[in-house]
Structure 1
Amino acid sequence: MLEYKPITTEQNEANLIALLSENQEEEKKVPAEKNTHFSLALYDADLYIGGITANKWMNATHISLLAVNKAYRGKGYGTELLKKAETFASESGSKLITIHTQDYQAKSFYEQYGYQVFGQLEDTPFSGTTKYYLVKHI
């Protein structure tokens, strides 16, 4: 009998990755590769002021989150965090980096560093805003 059961996100993701990796190996004859995580935080003494997280899988790195405390913006810290993630991506064999941002966030910031919009969704994640998907080939 089949049944739906709640499990932790971590366990579910591990099981899903195993299934998808098996399918990839069968269909494309490309061996699965383990995800590599990148996480870096920036502090001013004991005050957390920002950070970045990313995930590298196969030939791509996706920057999941990047933020800097409003009081510290415009001082190059976001640029430094982005460059450190790009170095991680390059050194770990990525050919491209992806990121998404909202129209009221950092689209122009990423574009000035060579990221290009490849897609967008209007009214996402709420009405009146647009989510942009960007890529940079490295």
Structure 2
Amino acid sequence: MIDYKSLNQKENEAKLIKLLSENQEEEKSIPAETNQPFSLALYDKDLYIGGITANKWMNATHISLLAINKNYRGKGYGAQLLKKAEAFAVESGSSLITINTQDYQAKTFYENYGYQVFGQLADTPFIGTTKYYLVKRI
């Protein structure tokens, strides 16, 4: 009998990744790699002012989060964090970097650093805003 059961998200994700990795090896004869996380925080003395997180898997790095405290924006810190994530991507063997952003966030910022929109979704994650998906080949 088939049952639907709740399962801790972390445990469920590990099981799903295992299934997907097995399928990838079977279908493409390419063994899956272990995810390589990247996380960097920015401080002014003891005050947390921002940071960046990313994950490298196979030939791609995805920047998950990048944010700077509004009082520190426009001083180049976001660009520095982005460049450090890009260096991580290059050093770890990625051939591309992806990121997503909202229309009211940093689309132009990423475009200024060579990222190109490859997709968008209107009214996501709420009505009246658009989510953009960007990529940079490195």
TM-score bracket for the superposition, by shorter chain length: over 0.9
Matched residue SS, 2:86: helix
Counterpart position of 1:108:
108
Q: Note if 1:43 corresponds to 2:43.
A: yes
**1:2 shift after superposition:** 2.1
Q: Secondary structure at the match of 1:125?
A: coil
TM value normalised by structure 2: 0.98
* Cα shift at 1:114: 0.2
Deviation at 1:5, TM superposition (A): 1.9
* Unaligned 5+ runs, structure 1: none
Give the aligned partner of residue 130 of structure 1.
Answer: 130
- Structure 1, residues 14-71: CA drift from partner, whole Å, max 9, x if none? 1000000000000011111111111111011111100000010000000000000000
Residue identity over aligned pairs, in percent, reads 79
Q: What's the TM-score once normalised by structure 1's chain length?
A: 0.98
**Number of residues paired by the alignment?**
138
59-68 or 4-13, which deviates more = 4-13
User: Which residue pairs with 1:68 in the alignment?
Assistant: 68
Which residue of structure 1 lines up, in the alignment, with residue 17 of structure 2? 17
- Consecutive unaligned residues of structure 2, counting only runs of 5 or more, are none
Runs of 4+ in 1 over 3 A off after TM superposition: none
Partner letter of residue 31 of structure 1? Answer: P
Alignment correspondent of 1:79: 79
- Once residues 8 and 85 of structure 1 are traced to their aligned partners in structure 2, the CA distance between those partners, rounded to angstroms, is 30
